[in-house]
Amino acid sequence: MTRSALWHPFTQHAIEPAPIRIGRTQGAYLETPDGKRILDAISSWWVITHGHRYPRIIDAVRTATQTLDQIIFAGLTHEPAETLASALVAMAPQGLDRVFLSDSGSTSVEVGLKMALGFHRNTGDPRSRIIVMEHSYHGDTIGTMSVGARGVFNAAYAPLMFAVDTIPFPAAGREQETLDHVEALTRDGRAAAVIVEPLVLGAGGMLIYPAWVLAEIRRITERTGTLLIADEVMTGWGRTGTLFACEQAGIAPDILCTSKGLTGGVLPLAATLATEAVFEAHLSTDRAKTFFHSSSYTANPIACAAAVANVGIWRDEPVAERVSALSRWQAERLSRFASDPRFANVRGIGTIAALDLRVRTPGYLAEAGPALRAFFLERGLLLRPLGNVIYVMPPYCITSAELDRLYDAIDEAADLACGR
Ligand SMILES: *Cc1c(COP(=O)(O)O)cnc(C)c1O
């Protein structure tokens, strides 16, 4: 075979096996050209919600291409974007009345950060410090890496990153410590924004914290005039059991970022929702106060049409029921490992389940991820552990029997990894 020119994401080409070619997707499955089926237990990096090639979304894409392709979104608008924006405002937590469209989760966060700085500057109270949570992940651009956890993944780029203030992760029993930090860092009224992944820190290891902590963070930010940015890029569209995770805390942030499941995972699209106050801060006869941001593919009509179809699915189909059934199945299967000595921190929220493998041999950790990935692939299962954290985040069409297959394999893998 001729050498591929492709450079894959988060891939060490010197060590890792050649990527598996996929020729077709359907429901919860990926299929190789020779017909091998692989169960997509991580929703293709957390984007696929209803299932691959969900007919209603695919049909909407096909229909949209009969009339539109990309059009410039400055000075022009179109039906799919207008419909999507109204729907998002109606579905999102109260008060998020403005919608800025872009094309990736990282970009939606960059947009949120820029909105926050613009808000303070334009209202005559320039603030620029951003408060972030330990172990967070917000994307891989320089700006989003700056507000995320530092480590081996971004050490090379650290010289370009901006400084932030970090609050500790609200681990069980230490929630007050987190809140005290928020309080201390916002008291002088100089922090521009607090950015959080609501309820679950995804790439940081599926770390879950209680909704009341988020509610308290909201209270403190409100009192100190600090904006709250909720990065719902992963948590949105049912992942945590509710449409948006913020709902469980009964809060509305000032800025909310959504992407991944926005189009059901079919096409790249992102939205940053903001309050009227944030929008109004940029409203002026002074052009210098304009919100200066754009990507070439902002509000791509085909992607917007896919998102409108997704919104329609949430409106017309029993998605909430599917999500709650899946959540229950996940919890049932996790309970089997609750006091299993091979695992620690057995946890779940909504459709997400995670457990830490207690690896016996030190140094095994470095290889655990790739070794486990290979083990699962041999069994036709796509799982991608984060170090020793095994997590299951499937599309909502997965069946109870398919989950059984997955958890049986996790059971087997644990014996292998823990050296039994
Ligand atoms: C995936 C993710 C992002 C980045 O989204 P991309 O589309 O990959 O740029 C940002 N925030 C969170 C919480 C994510 O999980």
- Spatial distance between the Cα atoms of 308 and 171, rounded to a whole number of angstroms: 37
Calculate mean pLDDT across residues 147-170. Answer: 97
Nearest CA, atom 8, ligand 1: 105
> Tell me, what's the pLDDT at 366?
62
106 in ligand 1 pocket by Cβ < 6 Å?
yes
35-44, 367-376, 397-406, range with the lowest pLDDT:
367-376
246 in ligand 1 pocket by Cβ < 6 Å?
no
195 in ligand 1 pocket by Cβ < 6 Å?
no
- Spatial distance between the Cα atoms of 268 and 85, rounded to a whole number of angstroms: 16
> Tell me, what's the pLDDT at 364?
56
What spacing in Å lies between the alpha carbon of 46 and ligand 1's midpoint? Answer: 9
Which is nearest to 419 in space by CA: 363, 337, 374, 355? 363
DSSP code of residue 139: -
Number of other CB atoms surrounding residue 276 within 10 Å: 12
DSSP code of residue 283: -
109 in ligand 1 pocket by Cβ < 6 Å?
yes
Is residue 359 very low, low, confident or very high in pLDDT (cuts 50, 70, 90)? confident
By the 8 A CB rule, do 351 and 243 touch?
A: no
> Tell me, what's the pLDDT at 416?
82
What spacing in Å lies between the alpha carbon of 189 and ligand 1's midpoint? Answer: 29
Residue 419 has pLDDT above 70, yes or no: no
- Spatial distance between the Cα atoms of 342 and 358, rounded to a whole number of angstroms: 5
By the 8 A CB rule, do 207 and 135 touch?
A: yes
> Tell me, what's the pLDDT at 338?
94
Is residue 361 very low, low, confident or very high in pLDDT (cuts 50, 70, 90)? low
Contacts of 156 (CB under 8 A, 6+ apart): none
258 in ligand 1 pocket by Cβ < 6 Å?
no
Span 291-321, pLDDT tens digits: 999 999 999 999 999 999 999 999 999 999 9
Tokens of 215: 């509610």
Residue 106 has pLDDT above 60, yes or no: yes
Residue 250 has pLDDT above 70, yes or no: yes
> Tell me, what's the pLDDT at 417?
79
> Tell me, what's the pLDDT at 55?
98
Span 223-244, pLDDT tens digits: 999 999 999 999 999 999 999 9
The pTM assigned to this predicted structure is: 0.97
List the domains of the chain with CATH numbers: 58-283+296-316 (3.40.640.10)
> Tell me, what's the pLDDT at 387?
87
Give φ, ψ of 164 to 5 degrees: -135, 170
Span 195-228, pLDDT tens digits: 999 999 999 999 999 999 999 999 999 999 999 9
Q: Which mutation among 45, 46, 135, 137 tests ligand 1's pocket best, with the greatest number of atoms within 8 A of CB?
A: 137
Q: Which mutation among 42, 49, 103, 109 tests ligand 1's pocket best, with the greatest number of atoms within 8 A of CB?
A: 109
Give φ, ψ of 107 to 5 degrees: -65, -40
